[in-house]
Amino acid sequence: MTVVLPSATIGILGGGQLGRMTAMAAAALGYRVHVFDPDADAPAAQVAARHTMAAYEDLDAVRTFARAVDVVTFEFENVPAGTAEACEGAAPVRPSPQVLHVAQHRLREKQTLQGFGLPVPGFRAVNSLEDLHGALAELGTPAILKTAASGYDGKGQQRIDSADGAAAAWEAIERQQAVMEAFVPFQQEISVISARSALGEVAFYAPFGNSHAHHILDVSVSPAAVPARVAEAACEVARTALTRLEVVGLLCVEMFVLDNGEVLINEIAPRPHNSGHLTLDAHHTSQFEQHVRAVCGLPLGSVQQHTPGAAMANLLGDLWDGGTPDWAAALRAHPNLHLHLYGKTEPRARRKMGHLTAAAETPDAAARLVQAARAALTAGARIPD
Supply the mean pLDDT for the chain: 94
* Number of CB atoms found within 10 A of residue 321's CB: 10
Secondary structure (DSSP) of 325-366: --HHHHHTT-TTEEEEE---S---TT-EEEEEEEEESSHHHH
pLDDT band per the 50, 70, 90 thresholds, residue 205: very high
Highest mean predicted confidence (pLDDT) among 41-45, 161-165, 325-329: 41-45
pLDDT at 236: 98
pLDDT band per the 50, 70, 90 thresholds, residue 89: confident
Element (H, E) at 106: helix 106-115
How far apart CA 290 and CA 30 sit, in angstroms, is 14
Q: Is pLDDT above 70 for 381?
A: no
How far apart CA 240 and CA 246 sit, in angstroms, is 10
Which domains are present in the chain? 9-93 (3.40.50.20), 122-182 (3.30.1490.20), 188-379 (3.30.470.20)
pLDDT above 90 coverage of the chain, percent: 89
Sheet holding 50-52, edge to edge: 50-52, 32-36, 9-13, 71-74
pLDDT at 151: 61
pTM for the model: 0.95
Return the C-alpha torsion angle 117, 122, 128, 129, nearest 10: 170
pLDDT at 6: 97
pLDDT band per the 50, 70, 90 thresholds, residue 333: confident
Summarised one tens digit per residue, pLDDT across range 20-69 is: 999 999 999 999 999 999 999 999 999 999 999 999 999 999 999 999 99
Average pLDDT over residues 82-88: 95
Average pLDDT over residues 237-256: 98
- Coil, strand, or helix at residue 176? coil
Parallel/antiparallel/unpaired status of strands 249-257 and 9-13: unpaired
pLDDT at 383: 63
Summarised one tens digit per residue, pLDDT across range 283-308 is: 999 999 999 999 999 999 999 999 99
pLDDT at 382: 57
pLDDT at 384: 63
pLDDT at 332: 81
pLDDT band per the 50, 70, 90 thresholds, residue 228: very high
Average pLDDT over residues 240-259: 98
Q: Which range is least confidently modeled, 47-56, 80-89, 225-234? A: 80-89
pLDDT at 152: 62
pLDDT at 154: 58
Residues whose CB falls within 8 Å of the CB of residue 350, separated by 6 or more in sequence, listed in order: 153, 214, 216, 316, 317, 318
pLDDT at 192: 98
